[in-house]
Amino acid sequence: MNQQQIEAMLRLLLGAGGPLAALLLAYGVPSDKLNLWVNLAIAIIPPIGAGVWGILANTQKRSIADAAAIPGVIKIKVSDNATGGAAQAANDANIPNVKRASE
């Protein structure tokens, strides 16, 4: 999942808030309960979202891809015996400038 996908999901969630609240009111949810739910969501969702985003954005593969995308970086060499995200980055043809040390 990339940053654009996460931003699209956030836009969708933010856009759905108003219609969802109107639907809940139409089905008889008291406005004081709805206000409580909205306040709880405002307090709880941002830190959880930031935590999930941080987990997804700070992987080895993502870090190597970000470093390879910096202008002026010619090549990043990954050890031939690398495992995990480093090995995935070296094997991913969509990440430019990242190669195995033996290449």
CA distances (Å), 56 to each of 1, 7, 51, 71, 86, in order? 8, 13, 9, 23, 15
Whole-angstrom distance, CA of residue 77 vs CA of residue 102 = 9
1 — pLDDT class (breaks 50, 70, 90): low
pLDDT: is 53 or 88 the higher one?
88
Q: What residue has token string 């954005």? A: 57
Q: Minimal CA–CA distance to 43: which of 31, 53, 35, 52? A: 35
Give the pLDDT confidence of 31-73 residue by residue, as tens digits.
Answer: 888 888 888 888 888 888 888 888 877 788 888 888 888 888 8
- How wide is the angle at C-alpha 2 spanned by C-alphas 71 and 66, nearest 5°? 25
pTM above 0.85, yes or no: no
Between 72 and 21, the more confident residue is 72
Buried-exposed string 43-71: b where 16+ CB fall within 10 A, e elsewhere: eeeeeeeeeeeeeeeeebbbebbeebeee
Report the sign of the C-alpha dihedral through residues 9, 11, 95, 82, in that order.
negative
